[in-house]
Amino acid sequence: MNQNTQQIEQTLDHLSLQDRIRIALESDINQGLLRPGQAIKEQDLCERFQASRTPVREALLLLSAKGLIDIQPRSGIYIKRLDARKIIAIMEGLAELEAVLARLAAHRALDSHKEQLQDCLLQTQIYAQQADSKGYAQANAELHELIYQLSANEFIAEQTQHARLRIAPYRTHMFAKPERLLESQKEHERIVQAIIAGDGDAAAHAMRQHISAGGQAFVEAAMRAPSLESTPSKPPRRLSS
């Protein structure tokens, strides 16, 4: 069980059933277990969470308000599908948001935090050298999450996390090419070095370059994804429990 899964389970223990369902579905979207255009059945969710339709519907309404699902009357409920223009717009916004967080982290990180950054950087380096795209994606997420925490700005961090969640289903093949892993690792090194040095401007610039550099490969992968095709007349498949 990875650290993110443990954190999610600990969070769920203290939440209402409605929020437990919402967070679990957000996690499924973030991990690519739910794909854009995929149909969701209320009955499947009721069985999975041993819940009545009321908390399930409330959770789905919250996800719809966040732009993560489409509720189509008399048609069905689907994971939100984004076109290429929307994906690019989110990526541009994400680059600026992450740059701000990196700048703040550089000004606010303590010595103990800097050690954590170096530990995270070592993990991404190991996976990059092994050409382990799945492991790298997880370590990459943990490094970025640490930077969000070090920024000590919950508002901007939440906006950034939401933007990343919106495009998470399209990121599956982002690190498919080994050379992109190595390039990304070099970018991470520049970001971490700037934060450790307390250079906010350099950290923001390095982060903006990092997000932008991966943007082209990301958009190309998203454009190749079958999820960008027109919505099928029949639901792709049911949500597995």
Report the phi/psi class of residue 78: left, alpha or beta, with left for phi > 0 and alpha for psi in -120 to 50: beta
Q: Report how far residue 113's alpha carbon sits from residue 111's, in angstroms, rounded to the nearest whole number.
A: 5
Band the pLDDT of 116: cuts 50, 70, 90: very high
Distances (CA, A) of 1 to 6, 9, 31, 170, 171: 7, 10, 14, 24, 22
The interaxial angle of helices 84-108 and 178-197, nearest 10 deg, is 30
HSE on the CB side for 176, CA within 13 Å? Answer: 12
pLDDT, tens digit, 9 for 90 and up, residues 13-28 = 678 899 999 999 998 9
Mean pLDDT in residue range 121-132: 94
Res. 180: pLDDT tops 70: yes
**Of 25-39, 50-64, 72-86, 174-188, where does the model show the most confidence?**
50-64
Q: Report how far residue 82's alpha carbon sits from residue 122's, in angstroms, rounded to the nearest whole number.
A: 34
Per-residue tokens: 234: 């029949």
pLDDT at residue 12, rounded to an integer: 55
Band the pLDDT of 191: cuts 50, 70, 90: very high
pLDDT at residue 13, rounded to an integer: 63
Q: Report how far residue 231's alpha carbon sits from residue 35's, in angstroms, rounded to the nearest whole number.
A: 12
pLDDT, tens digit, 9 for 90 and up, residues 74-102 = 889 999 988 888 888 898 999 999 999 99
Q: How does the average pLDDT of the chain come out, rounded?
A: 84
Residue found by looking up tokens 């970025």 in the block:
144
Edge-to-edge order in the sheet of strand 39-40: 39-40, 76-79, 69-72
pLDDT at residue 68, rounded to an integer: 92
Residue found by looking up tokens 């382990």 in the block:
132
